[in-house]
Structure 1
Amino acid sequence: MSRPHILVTGGAGYIGSHAVLALLDAGYPVIVLDNLITGFDWAVDPRATLIVGDIADSGMVAEVLHAHDIQAIMHFAGSILVAESVADPLKYYRNNTAASASLVETALKAGIRHLLFSSTAATYGQPPVSPIPETAPTVPINPYGRSKLMTEQMLADAARAHPLNHCALRYFNVAGADPHGRSGQSSAVATHLIKIAAEAAIGLRDQIAVFGSDYPTADGTCVRDYIHVSDLASAHLHALERLMAVPDENLVLNCGYGRGFSVLEVLDAVDRVTGRAIPRVMADRRPGDPPELVADNRAILSTLPWRPAHDDLEAIIADAIAWETRLAARRAGRAAA
């Protein structure tokens, strides 16, 4: 029996491109819709069909849904930088919330019944407990988190009023790259610790800044739950299949491993993987950084048949460094051309 066609918005980006790989490897026909503002056409596996366009263009989206007989949507498209959201909040409400509203409305008109949404642990803000369960208060502290939470709430309201079921996956710290080297984090501006460390590992940075050493944690640095991007992509596949199998169910699930590592523990692991010490510079705290963000992942483990396959910090780092090496070679080749 043929599998249903899946539309992946933002499928030329970091997490979206890995979800595309997971879908394709499982035998699903995949259509990618991406405006390529932050994504890359070469990041889309050639087995998928890439359409360049904006999810807010309802007429174009309607044509895509009809022409490709789309049965479900994985929605990754949007803006993701916390600092930028503070500086330009309206961009985030436009790209994340308003554009998502347009997509959902168009999908409903086309008869789409299943939508999987790329959300974030930023919806929790600075939670009072750790590990953080899905029942923790959602009090985001920046426009990025608020724009994502508003989309979650919109989907819940739409599901109550229409024949739509949805799942919002709240990511913690995503890192690493496809172990087969097919995709990875390719953004020009690195904001995540392991991406920055991978750049330092291949000589693109002289040192790594540690923002804050006086937090109430074991070594004074922030603790985060790092999930391998391929495990996250697998979670998306299982969540989508759950939506299609149980059409009257809506889900909100954390995506993490349920344990955290401090900044210094991550950098120590980078030193072990590379076999050398990368210089560290202690810096002041960044505003809004919670001391600890670790997922309570019991809900996803009990709801889906998902089990992590890459739950090893050094393996995550090694995959990130391997991808950074490939990416540097690609950029060097394009510059030479």
Structure 2
Amino acid sequence: MKDTVLITGGLGYVGGRIAQKLSESSDYLIRLGTRKLNVEQPQWIRNASIVNMDLSSDADLDAACKDARYVVHLASVNEIDSAVDPEQSMIVNSLGTLKLIRAAERAGIEKFLYFSTAHIYGAPLVGKITENTLPRPVHPYAITHRTAEDFILAAHDRKAFTGIVLRLSNSLGAPAHPEVNRWMLVANDLCMQAVTVKKLILKSSGIQRRDFITLSDVGRAVLHFLKLTASQCYNGTFNLGGENPIRIKDLALFIADRCKDIFGFIPPIVCPEPRINEVSENLEYRIDKLKKTSFSLQSNFTEEIDSTLKFCKQFFGSI
């Protein structure tokens, strides 16, 4: 018998790719939770159903969780909208998560995976960061996710379900479908610029470092956690990164080089000079705890960049 997995935000950027990965397994029935109304059955995934759900509605949440065994929770107000309206961010990201937790408990959910953000550790992210690093979130997006984390971990500690908090760094890869609007993310933005304007314009000097993990590995991590026993999940908190901290400028150079191989041209890179006293600080976003559960990164960084460039050309560009 197949187990039902509710993926909130399942039509979104990360959620869509996770759903596609889980659909490759014959063990699961995928239920995609969305606040959008009258959504047609998506063609980019098999073995999936759609459930309309408002995180403020107990009735919606009870219906979404009914007969499910697992919840993968990604639905949230994004970082841009959180900065504009921190109160709404708190209502959705924090209170909405609490209401979903209560619905999950009523439904007897066995395991609850929550996608948080690396930025709960502060901004900018520098130095060596482990799960023992003191969280000092600054941005409303990070603050509201940190609050939601505590609700998840409290439920985990009282054994309401196995609660897992995944502190995601920067995900990288093409979305599952063109309706996803996450082109403000730095790697996606650069790929889009390469295709549409044929140059890469950086908003900063590009010497800051960020950790990137492919969406393929994110999907694999979810599959991995669904299979783990409660004891293998330790205290429930895990960093989820790619052990791939690179400078933004180097990312741009890499994307420009891939454009040469794929499209036959090298887009110029435009960026401001570093500020006075600005330095490129080291970053180690450690995933040792995750690797102790026998998870290993496998996906190819180049393939994800290539697929994103080709996706942009197919749906948005005319190179």
Answer whether TM exceeds 0.5 for this pair: yes
Could you tell me which residue of structure 1 aligns to residue 188 of structure 2?
195
Task: Give the alignment's TM-score, normalised by structure 2.
Answer: 0.87
Unaligned runs of 5+ in 2: none
Partner of residue 107 from structure 2, selected from 100, 105, 110: 110
Report the CA distance shift for 1:262/1:204 in structure 2 as closer, same or farther (over 3 A): same
Secondary structure at the residue paired with 1:320? Answer: helix
Partner of 1:9: 8
Match of 2:215 in 1: 229
1:60-115: CA deviations, max 9, x gaps? 2212333xx1111111111122x432221012101111111110011111222310
Any residues of structure 2 matched to 1:123-162 within 5 Å, and which?
123-126=120-123, 130-162=127-159
Q: Offset of 1:40 from its aligned partner? A: 9.1
3-state secondary structure, aligned to 2:271: strand
Q: Unaligned stretches of 5+ in structure 1?
A: 214-220, 333-337
Runs of 4+ in 1 over 3 A off after TM superposition: 39-44, 126-129, 184-189, 204-207, 245-250, 283-286, 290-294
2:305 to 317, 321, 326: 317
Residue 240 of structure 1, CA deviation: 1.9
Aligned amino acid, residue 278 of structure 1: P
74, 77, 80: which is aligned to 2:75?
Answer: 77
Q: CA deviation at 1:177?
A: 2.6
- More off after superposition, 89-98 vs 183-192: 183-192
Letter in 2 for 1:86: A
1:257–1:311 CA contact under 8 A, matched in 2: no
**Equivalent-residue separation in structure 2 for 1:284 and 1:230 (angstroms):** 34
Give 1:216's aligned residue. Answer: none
Quote the residue 1:280 is aligned against: 269
CA contact (8 A) 1:172 1:294 kept: no
1-structure distance, mates of 2:303, 2:141: 29
Superposition TM-score, scaled by structure 1 size: 0.82
Cα offset, 1:284, TM superposition? 7.8
Q: How many residues align?
A: 309
Separation in structure 2 between the aligned mates of residue 295 and residue 109 of structure 1, nearest angstrom: 36
- State the 1:133 CA deviation: 0.8
Distance 1:264 1:257, change over 3 A: same
% identical aligned pairs? 21
1:299 aligns with 2:296: no
Alpha-carbon distance in 1 for matches of 2:53, 2:139: 28
Please point out which of 238, 241, 259 is paired with 1:253. Answer: 238
Aligned to 2:30: 30
RMSD: 2.8
Letter of the aligned partner of 1:295 in structure 2? Answer: Y
